[in-house]
Amino acid sequence: MPMNACFSGLSWHTGTLGCDASDPSPRTPTMSTPSTQDSAQAQRAARGFSLLELLVAMMIIAVLGTLGFSQYRKQGAQARYLKAQDELKIVAEGLDQYWLKHGTYPDFGSYEAMIDGNSVLVKESLIKVGMSAQDPFKQPYEGKSTRASYDLKCLGDPDNQEDYGPFTRTPGQGQVMGNGPSAGGAPKADLPAGDAGVQK
């Protein structure tokens, strides 16, 4: 090796050609220490989530779950309420058809008698066979009829009477009224003139 070159491997210098022993060798790699921020991030990644972060995540999941469940229950209650309205409408239309044929309503002391297999409404095929005596909320329908009128009632959702409260059907009401999903007094075009409406 020529004497005018610096040897960086052992850190000794010949002192020739401007080579100064106090200068670091150009071949010596500079050592960089990680910054405090990088070190903190590495430690955080290594230890995982903190207890506070887990609690926040669990709280968010709980809130979303609660909102989803309440929306599911609301949609279910609305569907049951509409089904109850449809079932009473079927019986009311059967009673109205009977009145159109005979000029009077049949005498029934209860809703169960109206939908019974021996009922004149069933025998004359004015209502379908096997209708339920209970509404979708597992409460009994109420009803009675005389030769001049009838009255059908659903008690509504026992857990939410404000939105899905009781409603009745009587003769001569040609529109739907009340506080349920079909509220608003919109006329029902498919109902005959003597058909029953729904009211609270």
- How does pLDDT run across 38-69, given as a tens digit for each residue? 666 666 556 677 888 888 888 988 888 887 77
User: Cα(157)–Cα(136) distance, rounded to whole angstroms?
Assistant: 9
- Count of alpha carbons within 13 angstroms of residue 127, beta-carbon side: 28
In order of 85, 87, 90, 117, 200, the CA distances from 111 in angstroms are 15, 12, 13, 12, 18
Specify whether the CB–CB gap between 96 and 196 falls below 8 A: yes
How is residue 179 annotated by DSSP? S
Tell me what pLDDT residue 34 has.
Answer: 56
User: Cα(187)–Cα(91) distance, rounded to whole angstroms?
Assistant: 19
Could you state, in order of their start, the residue ranges of all structural domains in the chain? Answer: 69-200
User: Cα(115)–Cα(111) distance, rounded to whole angstroms?
Assistant: 7
Tell me what pLDDT residue 181 has.
Answer: 52
Tokens 């009340």, residue located: 178
User: Cα(66)–Cα(7) distance, rounded to whole angstroms?
Assistant: 73
Mean per-residue pLDDT of the chain: 76
- Is the C-alpha dihedral spanning 65, 67, 73, 78 positive or negative? negative
Tell me what pLDDT residue 149 has.
Answer: 95
How is residue 140 annotated by DSSP? B
Tell me what pLDDT residue 115 has.
Answer: 95
For the ranges 13-22, 68-77, 145-154, 161-170, the lowest mean pLDDT is seen at 13-22
- Count of alpha carbons within 13 angstroms of residue 182, beta-carbon side: 20
Pairing of strands 167-169, 142-145: unpaired
Query: pLDDT confidence of 159, banded at 50, 70, 90?
Result: confident
For the cut 80, the answer to whether the pLDDT of residue 109 exceeds it is yes
Alpha carbon 4 to chain centroid, angstroms: 85
Tell me what pLDDT residue 36 has.
Answer: 63
User: Cα(197)–Cα(178) distance, rounded to whole angstroms?
Assistant: 10
For the ranges 41-45, 183-187, 194-198, the lowest mean pLDDT is seen at 183-187
